[in-house]
Structure 1
Amino acid sequence: MNKTIADIAELAGVAKSTVSRFLNGGSVSKATRQKIEQVIKEYHYVPNTFAQSLKARKTNIIGTVVPRLDSFATSQTLMGIDDELRNANFQMLISNTSQDMKREIEAIYDFARQKVSGIILLAAKISDAHLKAAEDTKIPILLVGQQHPNLYSLIHDDYNAGMTMGRHVYEQGHRQIAYLGVTEEDIAVGVQRKAGFKKSLENTPCQVRYYETSFKMTDAVNAAARILDEFTPSIIVCATDNIALGVMKAAYLKNIAIPSTLSVTGFGGYDVTEIIHPTLTTIRFFYKEAGKVAAHHMIRLVREEHIDKITKMSYELLERGSVDKRPNPSL
C-alpha cells in the first residue's frame, strides 16, 4: 500500500506540513530534505494526487531508463528516441542504472515524482517489482528490447534472427559449432536468440556446444580461450558483436587465423564491425530506428491513442569476411 504524506512525515520525524512543502518545491533545510528523500526512496512513495495531476496537466518530458551508457545498442536507441521526441516538442530525461535492478525500480518512482508523462524502459529482465512500480505510478511505460504481457513492448526479432544466423552457418558448411551466449535471465539475447539458432539446426548433423559469458568483451576473451582449449569448432557463433570481438582477440592471442581456421559471427551490427579485419559477419538490428519508433509510440500513449501491445523490428544478415565457406561438409 502506498504511504501517505502523514506516514512519510512520521517516518522522517518531521511535520506533515514540512513534507508537503518539500513535495511542492518549497524551502526546507538540507538535513530535513535528506531525511525526507531517504524515506521516500525506501518506501517508493508517490503522491496520491500524481495520476490526477498528470491527467489534468501533462508535461512534455519522457523519462528513459537505461542499464548502461557504454553500449552501442543503447546509445543508438537513445539517439533515435531523442530525435523523435525533439521533433514532437518533447524532452528526454535519462536515468542510467549501471545494470542494477534496484536502481531501475528507483528510477521509475523518481521519474513519477518528477511528473514525467511517460517512461521508456530498456531492461534485461522484468520483475514483479517493475510491474508494481508501473501499477503504483500509473504512468504509461513502454518496454524496449524485451517483452512482457503486462507492458507495451517494442522488441527486435531475436528468435528469427537466431534462425537466420543458424541457417547461414549451416549453408557455409560448418558442422563443428560453438555458440557463446549470455545468461538466460536476459530473455531476448539469452533465450530467444539462442532458441532460434538451436531450432535452425534441428535434424542436422551438426555438433553444437553451448557456452555462456557476460556482455563484457574481456570476459568473452577468457571464455573463448577456454572453449578453444577443450573443443575445435570451425566456427564460434556469438550472441553479441562485443562477444564476437572478444572471441577474435582470443583467437589472435592463440595464433588462430580468422576465418581460414576459425570463423566468427555476432549479432548487433555495431559500426566497429565494419572496420576491423576481417570484417564481422553479423545480424544488424536497427537500434536507432527502434528508438524513433519507441518515442513515437510513447507520444501516442501519452495522448491516450492506440498502439499495438507488441511491436517487432526487422533485422538484416550482413555476410562479411569473418566466415569461411567450408567445402564438401560431412553429411
Structure 2
Amino acid sequence: MVTISDIARLSGVAKSTVSRYLNGGSVGGDTRIKIEKIIRENGYIPNSFAQSLKTKRPNIIGTVVPRLDSYASSRTLMGIDEQLLALDYEMMILNSDRNPEREVANLYSLARQKVAGIILLATEISEEHITAFQKLQVPILLVGQQYPGIYSLIHDDEQSAYDLCQLMLKKRHRHIAFLGVTEKDKAVGIGRKKGFIKATSEYKDVKATCYETGFGIEEAQIKAEEIIRQDKPTAWMCATDNIALGVLKAAHNLGLSVPDDFSITGFGDYEIAGIMHPGLTTVNFFYQETGRTAASSMFKLVNGQLVEKVMHSQYKIIERESLDIPLGV
C-alpha cells in the first residue's frame, strides 16, 4: 500500500508538503503538479478519516442501521451515500442487528471516532438511547422514529395507514385483520396501528381486530395460520411487506387463494411486491429519497444551518392485485 511517505519520496518533496497538499493547504504550482502526477501513477487513495481528524474538519457521517438485509435500510443507505458523496462527505456504517443495546453502543463508538454527525435508523427509543442523546456532543438525526428535542425524519405511518385502510374499506371490506409488531417500535408498532384503528372506527359495520407478530416472514406465517383457523377476515393489513408475505404463505399452506378468499396489503413496496403473484398492494415510502433528505439535513446540521426538528418523508399507495372486492359482495 502506497503511503504519504512514498508519495513524498517519489515526488522529491517533504512529507509535510504532501500532507499540506492533501489537506487543501498552500502548495506551489510546480510542486502541486508533481505530487498529483505521482498520486495518479501510484493509485494513492488518501485516508479521509485520518485527514478529517488532522484538519479538525471531520467529513465522516456515522450511520447506524437495524439490519443490513432490510430492503428499507439498504435503500435508505443508498440515498444517504449518494447525497453525502455529492457533498464531499463519507459514510461509516455500523449494524445493530435489531439489538437496542448494540444500537446504543454503536452511538458511543461513532462519537469516540469523532464523526461529524450520526444518522440513526432506530428500531425503538429506550431510556439508554435518551441518555446517549443527552451525553454525546455530536449532531444526531433519527430516521423512521421520533423523540422530542431530537432532529427526526419520519415516515407518515399513521396517515399512510389511514389512507390504505380507507382504500380497503372502499373495496367494501368489513372484516379486517391488522397484523402488526411490538409497540416498542413506535413507528411500525404504534403509528400504523393507530391509522388502521382511526379508519375502521369511522364505520359502524366494520369488524376490525389487531394482532401482533414478529418482523420475520415465518413468524407472520405461523401467526396468520392460527388466526385464519379461528377467524375468517376478508382482508389483512400487514405492518410490513415481509409480514404480508408471511400471510400469503399461510394462505398457500391452507389451500386458500388471494384475493379470492381474502385480500392482503402491506407497507414498504419492496422489490418483490411488484413481481410476486398476486402483486402486493402496499405503501411506498420512497426510502432512497428519504436517505438523500437525511444526508442533506445532517450536512446542514454539522455546518450550523437551520433544520426543522421534525420532517416527513413522502409516500404513495401502490395498488396491485392482492386487494380486491370480496367475492359475493
- Give the C-alpha shift of residue 206 in structure 1: 0.6
What SS class does the counterpart of residue 237 from structure 1 fall into? strand
- Give the C-alpha shift of residue 106 in structure 1: 1.0
Deviations 1:134-175 (CA, angstroms, capped at 9, x unpaired): 222210000000011121000001010010011001000101
Is 2:115 aligned against 1:116?
Answer: yes
Q: Distance in 2 between matches of 1:227 and 1:128?
A: 34
Is 2:75 aligned against 1:76?
Answer: yes
Deviations 1:78-102 (CA, angstroms, capped at 9, x unpaired): 0000000011110000000111111
1:61 touches 1:118 (CA, 8 Å); kept in 2? yes
Counterpart of 2:16 in structure 1 is none
Gaps of 5+ in 1: 1-52
Counterpart of 1:178 in structure 2 is 177
1:265 touches 1:282 (CA, 8 Å); kept in 2? yes
What SS class does the counterpart of residue 255 from structure 1 fall into? coil
Counterpart of 1:325 in structure 2 is 325
Counterpart of 2:136 in structure 1 is 137
Q: How does 1:295-310 map to 2 (within 5 A)?
A: 295-310=295-310
Counterpart of 1:312 in structure 2 is 312
Q: Distance in 2 between matches of 1:327 and 1:129?
A: 50
- Mean CA deviation greater in 213-222 or 120-129: 120-129
Counterpart of 2:219 in structure 1 is 219
Q: Distance in 2 between matches of 1:132 and 1:237?
A: 35
Counterpart of 1:230 in structure 2 is 230
Counterpart of 1:60 in structure 2 is 59
Deviations 1:199-249 (CA, angstroms, capped at 9, x unpaired): 011131110111100111110110110010100111111010000001000
Q: Distance in 2 between matches of 1:95 and 1:207?
A: 43
1:269 touches 1:283 (CA, 8 Å); kept in 2? yes
After TM superposition, the score normalised by the length of structure 2 is 0.82
Q: Distance in 1 between matches of 2:284 and 2:319?
A: 10
Is 2:146 aligned against 1:147?
Answer: yes
Q: Distance in 2 between matches of 1:109 and 1:150?
A: 19
What SS class does the counterpart of residue 265 from structure 1 fall into? strand
Question: One-letter code of the match for 2:304?
Answer: E
Question: One-letter code of the match for 1:261?
Answer: D
1:173 touches 1:328 (CA, 8 Å); kept in 2? no
2:217 touches 2:243 (CA, 8 Å); kept in 1? yes
Q: Distance in 2 between matches of 1:128 and 1:211?
A: 26
Counterpart of 1:261 in structure 2 is 261
Q: Over alpha carbons, which structure has the higher Rg?
A: 2
Counterpart of 2:21 in structure 1 is none
Q: Distance in 2 between matches of 1:167 and 1:89?
A: 44
Counterpart of 1:246 in structure 2 is 246
- Give the C-alpha shift of residue 310 in structure 1: 0.4
Q: Distance in 1 between matches of 2:202 and 2:300?
A: 45
What SS class does the counterpart of residue 322 from structure 1 fall into? coil
Deviations 1:18-47 (CA, angstroms, capped at 9, x unpaired): xxxxxxxxxxxxxxxxxxxxxxxxxxxxxx
Counterpart of 2:85 in structure 1 is 86
2:260 touches 2:327 (CA, 8 Å); kept in 1? no
Counterpart of 2:284 in structure 1 is 284
Question: One-letter code of the match for 1:287?
Answer: Y
Q: Distance in 2 between matches of 1:208 and 1:280?
A: 21
1:173 touches 1:327 (CA, 8 Å); kept in 2? no
Question: One-letter code of the match for 1:87?
Answer: A
Counterpart of 1:209 in structure 2 is 209
What SS class does the counterpart of residue 94 from structure 2 fall into? strand
Is 2:124 aligned against 1:125?
Answer: yes
Question: One-letter code of the match for 2:93?
Answer: I
Q: Distance in 2 between matches of 1:214 and 1:267?
A: 15
What SS class does the counterpart of residue 178 from structure 1 fall into? strand
Q: Distance in 2 between matches of 1:203 and 1:70?
A: 38
What SS class does the counterpart of residue 163 from structure 1 fall into? helix
1:152 touches 1:310 (CA, 8 Å); kept in 2? yes
1:178 touches 1:210 (CA, 8 Å); kept in 2? yes
What SS class does the counterpart of residue 324 from structure 1 fall into? coil
- Give the C-alpha shift of residue 327 in structure 1: 6.7
Question: One-letter code of the match for 1:147?
Answer: Q
1:61 touches 1:117 (CA, 8 Å); kept in 2? yes
- Give the C-alpha shift of residue 131 in structure 1: 2.2
Q: Distance in 1 between matches of 2:150 and 2:60?
A: 20
Gaps of 5+ in 2: 1-51
